[in-house]
Structure 1
Amino acid sequence: MSDDAWPSCLSTAATWEQVLEALLPPLRLVDYVPAAYAATTREAPGPPGSVPGWWGTCQHTLLTTLCVTWAEALQRHNLYEQVLRGYFVPDGPASLAKARVWTHTLATCTALLTMRAEYHRATLDALTLILTHLDATRLLCYTLQACDAESHAARRDLQWMEAAAQMSALPTRVANVYGPRPASHALLDTYVAWPASLAPCIAQRMSLATAERLAVLLTRLARAGHITPAFWRAAAPHIHDKAAWARVWDACEDRVHETMLHSLLALWQARIEGTSFARLVAQDERAPGLEGRAFLTREAMSYAYSAYRMLATIASEAEAPRWSWVRLSGTSTVVYAPLLCMAIAAWAMDAEPKDSLEALLRIWSDPRRLARASVAQAEESTTLLLMAVRCLRDAPEALRAHATSPCLLRGVAAHMEHNDPTIRRLGMLMAEVWSAASNAERPLHFPADVWDGRGDGRETCRVLRAWFDQAGPLWPSMDVVAWPEAPVAPSAPPERTVVPRASAPVSISLPRRVPARRPLVVDLSKETMADITPMESDDDSSEEEREDANDTSVLLDTALRKKPRVPVYIYELVPLLRERAYAANKLALKHAEPLIRRKTGWGMEVAEHAVDVAIALAALQDNYDLRAFEERRTRALTALCVAAPGIVVDCLCEQVFSPHYALAQRLAMLRAIAEAAQEMAGLTPFDPGVASRQLIEAATARACQQGEAQLVQHGADKARWQAVRLDATPAQKAAPSWSVKPTVPFTAAARAFIFPLLRRCEAAQQHASRTYAGSDATTAPHILAAVLHTLCVLCQAGRHAPFFATRIMPDVLEMAERQSRHTDASVASAAFALVLVLLDAAKEAQRLIVQAQAPCLVRVQSVAESYVAARPGGALERSAAAVVLRISEMQAQVRQALLGL
């Protein structure tokens, strides 16, 4: 039978008998024919135990065609769930046929989850049932089995690469489709834990034969952001095969190595932080002689050994020196616990210990790093170096070679010259320990009062010395820490009866009013009878009425005064908005937003008429004092921007700088663009001025906090910092509010929002005052300030868009730099706000920005410094000061990173 024979039978089945004849025979291939129909079902279309190539096409046809028509009939005959599970997720004893069915299911689900709006509700209900029973562990095992059965090597590799990409992207696709649906929380919770469900199976199936394939899957998971501490938490009890993990490490790239190690270190950091021996001196060990009672126990050392063993298993092939993973430059905010530092140092010293010790000594003795390091960071680097020295305690000649080296002497001197007494004692401790470990003839000893007593790091140094002087092996306890029971996975949603729904949108218009029926019998009083008695004047009037009945002008006037009909299609909004009538304008504004949102995602109706509707809404004037006029118009324009962003946003940006509109109309268009961007990004829509003010306050607060944190690190500047401290107002956290799922995420449409507004504003400024008087009104200060505030909102919402830091940000930053020189204070303040929001949004790419946009940043910084120096104390000067502080901080951090500090 040809590849499209069975799918065509499924799509053309017109009767119940034809449906059964097309559905049931293929189920014999996976032993899933219902018992009630086993006797009447004909033979399978192929040899038993094999799955033809048209199975995936059958799955797609079943979901998109047959379920739309026959889902209700299948439920009445108790075949709905059994047929779906047989075609997609058959259970029972494992076999090659079922393995191939599961791989087809993965490809079909990926294809259907890509374009959700094109499918019927019955298709999505069936897809929900399949995703509920799609077990991650069985899927991975079946996919490996199906790939092993493929004899052609190139085809086998291609099949596995496609399956790995689909498995890693499945949680994101499910979240994109089912996120706006309120009844899908259980399914979303299941797929949030999807990578953690894959982790135990990956660790259990890890072997030399499967290492290269699982390396491809791990690479995909790392790129998708699924290699997290929760992933390693689920895989940790099953990580044993060191040779297989070494092959995985060789097959992965450096970015994957970094993701794996940082998430693994974060897991152990979180686990050690929850114990009583997370620090060298616990809170309840402040009394003399009690310090280190928890830290020096065998249980604590078992935690350090377990972390070391896991690092040595997964990253045994990491290149030496390995200290770059710890990030000792002083810029990292993460300070590892002492037990984790011991594990990291032992793992790093496994590869070329002498070179690793020399590299760590250079880092520890760097005066520039120590000058900006906190006490916790100094303890971290000292603990690492002590563990490295302890690893070489049996080779004193290697330590003796560095005992009098300039590197060690410079480091000890830098520590002893520090202002903090704790850091000074750490340097003296290292000097004594190194002298004793290298078997010097006259070991170095500082006076006893340096170590005895309380405070200023004495307890910490005594605990470190006691740990270093412990006799016996490197690891007193080699017992692996047991992992607690994994949290119970969210239960599957309860089974429910799925009823197919209509594919057309349901109207939310009110029912038509019908007047009450007039009574047939009415009692007439004498006064009423007298009123209706015919008079002479009545005869005359009746003749006039009979003559007026033939007058066509009266009939035409009656037709024009007829009440307008509620719009049902998008094109019906345009004449209502353009008509100069109270009833028509009121009806159009009332129904514009609900109608547009109902039509969003259904065909091309909105896109075909979006420009006409947008121009009609923008040109509408409140001539009749309609209730909530501006709010309704803005919401309708926002709905249009969400439904067709590529068309409507460019049109509105063009109209903003057209001289035919009033100020209120231009501000409404800018407000609609900003609210649409916030809605598509999952944020609560605010007015652009309010939203940008919140972003500015949050960015200013973060810049001040980071600057204050750097000042606090130096004791001499503490009093000065307290004298000039600025109160930072925390930004309000916006919660996503959805009415209709946007057709595309804002990260994909950010360029369609930002670049049209940017280019139209630049063109308007270049051509202002060239055609006729008054043309420069389109670039008035209040319009420019509103445009800059709108760009603040757009850039904040689109900061995760592709190429934001390389394509979008340079152009916006250049415009903000030009506007910062504007003579009007509101425009300059908005320009500085835009610069501050841009730098705060692109925090992850600050090195690229500082290097590529250095001239522009210098110009902005000079203008901001001139404002601060000339007129200190205002809102404009506050924004300018925050810009100067942020740019200086970025330049300093990039300079330190380039120097390798």
Structure 2
Amino acid sequence: MSDEAGPTRMRAATTWEQVVETTFLPLCLLGRLPPTRVQLPEAPAPTGTVPAWWGTCQHMLLTNLWVTWSDAFRQHDWYETVLQGWFVPPVDSLGAAQVWTHTLATCTALLTVRAPCHPATLEALTYVVTRLEASTVFSASLQACQDEPHAARRDIQWAEAAAQMSALPTRVANVYGPQGASAASVLDPYKAWVPLLAVAMVQHLDESNAELIAVLLARLARAGHVTPAFWEAAAPYVLQQSGEAWERIWHGMEERVCETMLLALLHMWQERMECTPYAYPVAKDERAPGTEGRAFLTTDAMRYAYSAYRMLVLVAGAADAPRWSWARLGTATDTATYAPLLCVSVAAWAMEADGIESLAALLRGWSDVRRITRASLAQEEGITTLVLVALRYVRDAPEAVRTHATSPAILRGVAAHMEHHHPAFRRLGMLVAEVLSAASGVERPLRFPDTVWEGRGDGRETCRVLRALYDRDGPLWPSQDVICWEMEKRSTTPPPRAPAPIRKSPVTVALPRRVPPRPLVVDLESEASAPPLPAMHALALDDESDDEVYDEVYDEGDTSLMLDAALRKKAKVPVYIYELVPLLRERDYTANRLALKHAETLIRRKTGWGNEIAEHAVDVAVALASLQDTYDLCAFEERRTRALSALCIAAPGPVVDCLYEQVFSPHYALAQRLSMLRAVAMAAQEMAGLPVVEAVAASRQGAAWATERARAYGSEQLTQDARTRPREVVQSTRIAAPTAPWQVRPTVPFTQAAAQAFLFPLVRRCEAALQHGSRTYAGSDATTSPPVLAAVLHTLCVLCQAGRNAPFFATRIAPDVLLFAERLSSHKDTSVVEAAFALILVVLDAVSEAGSAHLLAREQAPLLVRLQSVAASQLAGHDTVESSAAAVVLRISEMQEQVRQALLSL
């Protein structure tokens, strides 16, 4: 048999001898003939390579020959020998490497749901798939491509191999995933396919194959496989390499792909640093006076920072200046939040490329008034660390610093910081202004009083630590040793708490006092001289109103009750807004009942007239929120929620943010927090003209509608029937009776107040609670419990539904909300995950319905890729989560397709 001609066609093999000859003759080209086999006539000598028809023969072997003769091969103990020789031989020659490339292509072609395989074919395919190792597949494909002499053919061959290696885990999951637990042995090895592929790429990386590896990296990044886990596996080997090969990789990829890789690398370091006590200037155990910064300023902390800096220099050292935009830290619309220790690494990496220009770009972002208005405290701490570390690099150029320190933009930024409502935010702005003035070299630099920095609380400790970082003498990196990656162990579960000791009952020394029982027979003659008892009359409760206040019947001649009658005042129906506060705060049944019954009606009647509500809105809101049902009042929760909702409509600016602040305060019960969130959701629905529905029901209803529209994109049948089939409306329950009709219009349209008054404050306060709550005060874990987080997500879902027509919804509101939902989509509680995916789906649906899907997909491509990856990982979860996750994948795919079609039409 010649090398050019193919083997005998499988369909022509009618006898066992023909099958054996057809199967074993090609194996002689690799020298893989089994020793138990007799010598074949005219057997070709080993050539070390395989011809081009090998892949076609593999496909015919599995789909044709194996269907008929697999049992015969098993009887002769040649089943595994043939499959190993044809598909997965040991890679000891170029021919064996070429066989692995053909095997990869054959498995990719057969692993598809649209073409079901014969059971014998599927069994053999499973045998081959379970023996495909990522490192062997990569090294064999790389060796086969490098041996190709024609450059164009080599590029095409490697592009196909890269696409197949990237898609193999997904194809295996599509075929074996529906089989459930029976396919665990096949699916489990492919969970670590991408990390093992990353390790193989880094181990084989050099300047000769950097361009080929760049193609595979770009393919993995577009498919969403370049995640923090990818860099977690590759980091130990990257830190031991030089930067020449990575520079060629960086120049060989597109800008968006480079940005995706860099963001995944930063997220990996963020997750790793958050597990250490060095991530923040004030650690959790540094609450005593004078203990702040003991971990953040140590040599071990700087080793972590230097390791991240070293990896950034190696991987992204060829990025153009200024580099802030690569890390999503350069403009006012960026929402990335990194730990201050990681910001030290990012600042050191960014300032290496044209430090003056990088400093100017960073100061423009720091002084942007829009960023100051929308940023959270964690983001402000991060950008403050960036500015201080950047100023360390330009200490020798005070003239350049003076040019920026006296610019109008910097002065506006300092003024915006000073006008911020959060004291810690103001102090961070004052710290930057003071350090910037000192670094400019002026004769009389700006200096605030020492009382601003001394003491505890309101960001004082953080400012002192960051100033110590800036003022520290010597180089930024005291040691240039990277961390020992293998010795680091990340704890994912907290240590078990010791059981609390059981308190014994107190010991008493007094004997119980015995009270004699009442006599059954009473002598009435001895009480004849006693004064007559006052007459007792029944109260005539002829109406059902609970507004009337009745006095107890007593004898006018009895002087013992005169003082009580003088001190007792009748509760009156409130007429002014300020009269509600004392009634709500009073510990009296009648006062609380009157205030709750008339609060909503009074607030609605006063809306739009004068400044009475604006002056007392916050006091009334706090009083309503802190009210407890001590006296078991009728319709307590409904009346309180409706009153808070009316208050939110009358004065959305101060009231809504006040309620958000109370929700994440540790002084409230769960029912009170949920009541406040329900009130905000009801107010948003009423202001937007939507029917007032419970937040959870409205969120699920919106997710159901969005899921139906997403399925219409993925299914042709649903697309044809979408206009004729009525929508399935999720059954919802109203919180109480329909809302009273408005006598006047709301003072502010909801589209105008949606972003600044409703959406952004809730997102920022919840992020602050998640990051700082557990290490600020005791009992703060209740503010971020799963019921609260799920209620916050459902409330955001309602707010996004009502505010989908708000200005800049797709470009400003949607990215922030999606980034917040992405953070909570990996929560351990199923209700939180369900609410997060419902929020993601509603936001994406609102953007798509508004015709702005291409804008979001083009500007937030890495975010959508991460969301798609997270949604794909939830497809095997709870039924509700699985439905929403599938709809998210379909909706993002639709948006990406729109961008692709727009690019193709250019």
Q: What is the alpha-carbon distance in structure 2 between the residues aligned to residue 713 and residue 352 of structure 1? A: 45
Spell out, residue by residue over 1:498-517, the C-alpha distance to the aligned partner (whole angstroms, 9 max, x if none): xxxxxxxxxxxxxxxxxxxx
- 2:217 corresponds to: 218
Query: Which of 752, 758, 763 lines up with 2:716 in the alignment?
Result: 752
Structure 1: which amino acid aligns with 2:468? A
Q: Secondary structure at the match of 1:474?
A: coil
1:332-731 superposed matches below 5 A: 334-484=336-486, 718=661, 722=676, 724-726=679-681, 728-729=695-696
Q: Secondary structure at the match of 2:358?
A: helix
Q: Secondary structure at the match of 2:360?
A: helix
Structure 1 residues 853 and 179: CA distance shift in structure 2, 3 A = closer
CA-atom RMSD, angstroms? 3.6
1:182-193 superposed matches below 5 A: 182=180, 183-193=182-192
Structure 2: which amino acid aligns with 1:101? V
Q: Secondary structure at the match of 1:383?
A: helix
Of 22-31 and 477-486, more deviation after overlay is shown by 477-486
- 2:267 corresponds to: 266
Displacement after TM superposition at 1:369 (Å)? 1.5
1:797-812 superposed matches below 5 A: none
Q: What is the alpha-carbon distance in structure 2 between the residues aligned to residue 79 and residue 733 of structure 1? A: 57
Structure 2: which amino acid aligns with 1:315? A
Structure 2: which amino acid aligns with 1:255? R
Spell out, residue by residue over 1:733-774, the C-alpha distance to the aligned partner (whole angstroms, 9 max, x if none): 99xxxxxxxxxxx9797241332223436xxxxxxxxxxxxx
Q: Secondary structure at the match of 1:324?
A: coil
Structure 1 residues 732 and 131: CA distance shift in structure 2, 3 A = farther
Report if the CA contact (8 A) 1:147-1:160 is conserved.
yes
Structure 1 residues 478 and 731: CA distance shift in structure 2, 3 A = farther
Structure 1: which amino acid aligns with 2:149? S
1:772-791 superposed matches below 5 A: 784=726, 786=728
- 1:204 corresponds to: 203
- 1:140 corresponds to: 138
Q: What is the alpha-carbon distance in structure 2 between the residues aligned to residue 296 and residue 214 of structure 1? A: 38
Displacement after TM superposition at 1:264 (Å)? 0.7
Spell out, residue by residue over 1:496-536, the C-alpha distance to the aligned partner (whole angstroms, 9 max, x if none): xxxxxxxxxxxxxxxxxxxxxxxxxxxxxxxxxxxxxxxxx
Of 236-245 and 356-365, more deviation after overlay is shown by 236-245
Displacement after TM superposition at 1:325 (Å)? 3.5
Structure 1 residues 128 and 103: CA distance shift in structure 2, 3 A = same
1:40-79 superposed matches below 5 A: 40-42=39-41, 44-45=43-44, 48-79=47-78
Spell out, residue by residue over 1:225-262, the C-alpha distance to the aligned partner (whole angstroms, 9 max, x if none): 11111111111122223121111111111221121011
Q: What is the alpha-carbon distance in structure 1 between the residues aligned to residue 209 and residue 653 of structure 2? A: 49
Q: What is the alpha-carbon distance in structure 1 between the residues aligned to residue 140 and residue 655 of structure 2? A: 57
Structure 1 residues 185 and 333: CA distance shift in structure 2, 3 A = farther
- 2:102 corresponds to: 104
- 2:178 corresponds to: 180
Q: What is the alpha-carbon distance in structure 1 between the residues aligned to residue 414 and residue 449 of structure 2? A: 17
Displacement after TM superposition at 1:843 (Å)? 3.2
Q: What is the alpha-carbon distance in structure 1 between the residues aligned to residue 68 and residue 387 of structure 2? A: 71
Structure 2: which amino acid aligns with 1:426? L
Q: What is the alpha-carbon distance in structure 2 between the residues aligned to residue 716 and residue 320 of structure 1? A: 43
Report if the CA contact (8 A) 1:208-1:243 is conserved.
yes
Spell out, residue by residue over 1:867-894, the C-alpha distance to the aligned partner (whole angstroms, 9 max, x if none): xxxxxxxxxxxxxxxxxxxxxxxxxxxx
Q: What is the alpha-carbon distance in structure 1 between the residues aligned to residue 143 and residue 9 of structure 2? A: 30
- 2:301 corresponds to: 300
Q: What is the alpha-carbon distance in structure 1 between the residues aligned to residue 722 and residue 388 of structure 2? A: 57
Q: What is the alpha-carbon distance in structure 2 between the residues aligned to residue 228 and residue 248 of structure 1? A: 18
Q: What is the alpha-carbon distance in structure 2 between the residues aligned to residue 301 and residue 217 of structure 1? A: 33
Provide TM-score, normalisation by structure 1.
0.58
Of 477-486 and 3-12, more deviation after overlay is shown by 3-12
Spell out, residue by residue over 1:381-418, the C-alpha distance to the aligned partner (whole angstroms, 9 max, x if none): 11111111112123223212222222222222211121
Q: What is the alpha-carbon distance in structure 2 between the residues aligned to residue 59 and residue 714 of structure 1? A: 66
Spell out, residue by residue over 1:466-516, the C-alpha distance to the aligned partner (whole angstroms, 9 max, x if none): 11111111212211112237999xxxxxxxxxxxxxxxxxxxxxxxxxxxx
Spell out, residue by residue over 1:8-67, the C-alpha distance to the aligned partner (whole angstroms, 9 max, x if none): 344432333222222222222222221211x42345446521212221121111111121
Structure 1 residues 290 and 713: CA distance shift in structure 2, 3 A = farther
Of 96-105 and 23-32, more deviation after overlay is shown by 23-32
Gaps of 5+ in 1: 489-704, 735-745, 762-783, 790-808, 814-835, 855-901
Structure 1 residues 333 and 413: CA distance shift in structure 2, 3 A = closer
Report if the CA contact (8 A) 1:32-1:86 is conserved.
yes
Spell out, residue by residue over 1:261-303, the C-alpha distance to the aligned partner (whole angstroms, 9 max, x if none): 1111110010001001121101111111100111111111111
Of 237-246 and 418-427, more deviation after overlay is shown by 237-246
Structure 2: which amino acid aligns with 1:172? T
Displacement after TM superposition at 1:357 (Å)? 0.9
Structure 1: which amino acid aligns with 2:313? A
Displacement after TM superposition at 1:314 (Å)? 1.0
Displacement after TM superposition at 1:788 (Å)? 9.8
Q: What is the alpha-carbon distance in structure 2 between the residues aligned to residue 359 and residue 710 of structure 1? A: 33
Spell out, residue by residue over 1:152-206, the C-alpha distance to the aligned partner (whole angstroms, 9 max, x if none): 1111111111111111111111111111113111211212221111101111222
1:842-881 superposed matches below 5 A: 843-844=843-844, 850=850, 852=852
Identity %: 55
Q: What is the alpha-carbon distance in structure 1 between the residues aligned to residue 656 and residue 662 of structure 2? A: 12
Q: What is the alpha-carbon distance in structure 1 between the residues aligned to residue 171 and residue 483 of structure 2? A: 37
- 2:314 corresponds to: 313
Structure 1: which amino acid aligns with 2:262? L
Report if the CA contact (8 A) 1:276-1:282 is conserved.
yes
Displacement after TM superposition at 1:850 (Å)? 4.1
Structure 1 residues 204 and 713: CA distance shift in structure 2, 3 A = farther
Structure 2: which amino acid aligns with 1:480? V
Report if the CA contact (8 A) 1:88-1:105 is conserved.
yes
- 1:661 corresponds to: none
Q: What is the alpha-carbon distance in structure 2 between the residues aligned to residue 279 and residue 458 of structure 1? A: 14
Structure 1 residues 163 and 135: CA distance shift in structure 2, 3 A = same
Q: What is the alpha-carbon distance in structure 2 between the residues aligned to residue 277 and residue 710 of structure 1? A: 38
Q: Secondary structure at the match of 1:760?
A: coil
Structure 1 residues 716 and 63: CA distance shift in structure 2, 3 A = closer
Report if the CA contact (8 A) 2:332-2:370 is conserved.
no
Q: What is the alpha-carbon distance in structure 2 between the residues aligned to residue 113 and residue 733 of structure 1? A: 35
Q: What is the alpha-carbon distance in structure 2 between the residues aligned to residue 843 and residue 147 of structure 1? A: 45
Spell out, residue by residue over 1:46-104, the C-alpha distance to the aligned partner (whole angstroms, 9 max, x if none): 65212122211211111111211121221222211111011011015x21111111111
- 1:166 corresponds to: 164
Gaps of 5+ in 2: 491-647, 664-672, 682-693, 702-709, 732-800, 806-835, 855-906
Spell out, residue by residue over 1:787-820, the C-alpha distance to the aligned partner (whole angstroms, 9 max, x if none): 899xxxxxxxxxxxxxxxxxxx9xx99xxxxxxx
Q: What is the alpha-carbon distance in structure 1 between the residues aligned to residue 3 and residue 446 of structure 2? A: 84
Report if the CA contact (8 A) 2:712-2:722 is conserved.
no
Spell out, residue by residue over 1:200-223, the C-alpha distance to the aligned partner (whole angstroms, 9 max, x if none): 111122222111111111111111
Structure 2: which amino acid aligns with 1:843? V
Report if the CA contact (8 A) 1:103-1:163 is conserved.
yes
* Equivalent residues, number: 559
Displacement after TM superposition at 1:437 (Å)? 2.2
Report if the CA contact (8 A) 2:28-2:46 is conserved.
no
Q: What is the alpha-carbon distance in structure 1 between the residues aligned to residue 283 and residue 698 of structure 2? A: 35
Q: What is the alpha-carbon distance in structure 1 between the residues aligned to residue 76 and residue 101 of structure 2? A: 28
Structure 2: which amino acid aligns with 1:104? H
Q: What is the alpha-carbon distance in structure 1 between the residues aligned to residue 343 and residue 260 of structure 2? A: 19
- 2:19 corresponds to: 19
Spell out, residue by residue over 1:676-708, the C-alpha distance to the aligned partner (whole angstroms, 9 max, x if none): xxxxxxxxxxxxxxxxxxxxxxxxxxxxx9xx9
Report if the CA contact (8 A) 1:6-1:22 is conserved.
no
Q: What is the alpha-carbon distance in structure 2 between the residues aligned to residue 349 and residue 110 of structure 1? A: 45
Provide TM-score, normalisation by structure 2.
0.57
Structure 2: which amino acid aligns with 1:228? T
Q: What is the alpha-carbon distance in structure 1 between the residues aligned to residue 110 and residue 80 of structure 2? A: 19
